[in-house]
């Protein structure tokens, strides 16, 4: 019997696993719609459990699971007993008897860890407050497309909140050798332990700065996220004040390297974290990035469910 594997952070793949998964994602993108597209999950069911709202995660999983031949089972917590207090542990044990994998979009990272610990089937982190590794798979695929397959040494500028997506960028830097500069207000910097873990790999570089211009100067990739994530709506006004001056503007993009691309995990608030002329302009790769969620998640499901190395 194949050992169960989970995907809770990028580090669960390791460097070689991450790179090979990106290569498989690119192959599945080329095969999409072709008679030769694999359907390795035929006859299986994958549950996608939501405690947070979703557009890209829900659609990309439902479409991708179906294209792999499986049945997508979308579950919203408010409609389930977990929404009335049934434990995560019992939910994990129950779903393990019905389906072949679970993707879980939730709040605290401890919740997805508990689900994985108590499930006998693969569990995928579809977003927690601490990490968003699925987004980074899509982002790295977009970077490879822009650099001819190169990741090591690529200079990336993150502008804004040191949030879950920023944490996964930091992990990526340590795995594949990115030169990552994060410009964050002092009160919104990423977790020091995550930065330290990336530094301990001995690959890449992670620098925390206050000046967005300093981070962007010479960057090959400029990326950002909304200033107030899900669950932080009550902090919107405070965050607008804290992040004033942290917008990705046309003028700021001119500081980046020639041919630099812009990424955003979406949804975007034009006029706040990014100017419309940037996200809708020639440097933007946000729609390729969003599409990549489909291809990378298919590759991930194939690997975890079928035990592909």
The C-alpha torsion from 9 through 79 and 294 to 167, rounded to 10°, is: -30
pLDDT for residue 233 = 72
Across 234-238, average pLDDT: 81
pLDDT for residue 88 = 96
Kindly indicate the confidence band of residue 172, based on its pLDDT and cuts at 50, 70 and 90.
very high
Q: Would 10-131+293-303 and 134-289 be classified into the same CATH topology?
A: yes
Mean pLDDT of the chain: 96
* Eight-class DSSP state of 191: P
Q: Which of 56, 105, 144, 295 is catalytic?
A: 105
pLDDT for residue 57 = 98
Share of the chain above pLDDT 90, in %: 94
Q: Which of 6, 179, 264, 265 is catalytic?
A: 265
* Eight-class DSSP state of 10: G
3-state secondary structure of 134: helix
Yes or no: say if 45 and 73 are a contact pair by the CB < 8 Å rule. Answer: yes
Element (H, E) at 19: helix 14-31
CATH number of 10-131+293-303: 3.40.50.1370
pLDDT in tens, 245-259: 999 999 999 999 999
**Lowest-pLDDT choice from 150-164, 227-241, 275-289:** 227-241
- Alpha carbon distance 14, 309 (integer Å): 12
Q: Which of 100, 252, 293, 303 is catalytic?
A: 293
Closest CA to 308 of 57, 94, 2, 1: 2
Yes or no: say if 256 and 284 are a contact pair by the CB < 8 Å rule. Answer: no
Annotated active-site residue 293? The verdict is: yes
Kindly indicate the confidence band of residue 147, based on its pLDDT and cuts at 50, 70 and 90.
very high
- Alpha carbon distance 224, 117 (integer Å): 32
Annotated active-site residue 132? The verdict is: yes
Q: Which of 109, 132, 144, 303 is catalytic?
A: 132
CA atoms within 13 A on the CB side of 204: 28
Q: Which of 58, 100, 135, 239 is catalytic?
A: 135
pLDDT of residue 99 exceeding 60:
yes
pLDDT for residue 2 = 66
pLDDT for residue 308 = 65
pLDDT in tens, 48-95: 999 999 999 999 999 999 999 999 999 999 999 998 899 999 999 999
Domain borders along the chain are 10-131+293-303, 134-289
Record the tokens describing residue 198, joined without a space: 């990336």
pLDDT of residue 1 exceeding 60:
no
Cα 115 from chain centroid (whole Å): 19
pLDDT in tens, 205-226: 999 999 999 999 999 999 999 9
**Which CATH class for the 134-289 domain?**
alpha beta
């Amino acid at each position: 019997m194949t050992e169960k594997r989970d995907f809770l952070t990028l580090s669960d793949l390791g460097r070689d696993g991450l790179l090979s998964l990106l290569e498989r994602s690119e192959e599945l993108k080329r095969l999409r719609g072709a008679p030769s597209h694999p359907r390795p999950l035929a006859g299986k069911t994958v549950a996608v459990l939501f405690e947070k709202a979703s557009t890209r995660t829900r659609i990309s999983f439902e479409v991708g699971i179906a294209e792999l031949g499986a049945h997508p089972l979308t579950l919203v917590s408010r409609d389930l007993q977990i929404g009335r207090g049934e434990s995560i542990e019992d939910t994990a044990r129950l779903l393990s008897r019905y389906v072949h994998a679970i993707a879980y979009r939730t709040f605290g990272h401890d919740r997805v860890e508990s689900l994985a610990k108590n499930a006998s089937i693969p569990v995928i982190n579809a977003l927690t407050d601490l990490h968003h590794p699925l987004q980074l798979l899509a982002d790295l695929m977009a970077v490879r497309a822009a650099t001819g397959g190169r990741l090591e040494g690529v200079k990336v500028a993150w502008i804004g909140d040191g949030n879950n997506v920023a944490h996964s960028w930091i992990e990526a830097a340590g795995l594949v050798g990115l030169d990552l500069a994060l410009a964050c207000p002092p009160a919104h910097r990423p977790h020091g332990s995550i930065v330290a873990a990336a530094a301990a790999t001995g690959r890449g570089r992670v620098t925390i700065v206050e000046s967005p211009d300093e981070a962007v100067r010479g960057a090959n990739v400029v990326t950002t996220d909304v200033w107030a994530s899900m669950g932080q709506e009550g902090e919107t006004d405070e965050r607008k004040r804290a992040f004033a001056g942290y917008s990705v503007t046309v003028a700021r993009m001119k500081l980046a390297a020639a041919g630099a691309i812009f990424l955003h995990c979406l949804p975007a608030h034009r006029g706040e974290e990014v100017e419309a002329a940037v996200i809708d302009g020639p440097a933007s790769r946000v729609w390729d990035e969003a599409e990549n969620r489909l291809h990378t998640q298919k590759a991930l499901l194939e690997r975890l469910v079928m035990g592909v190395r």
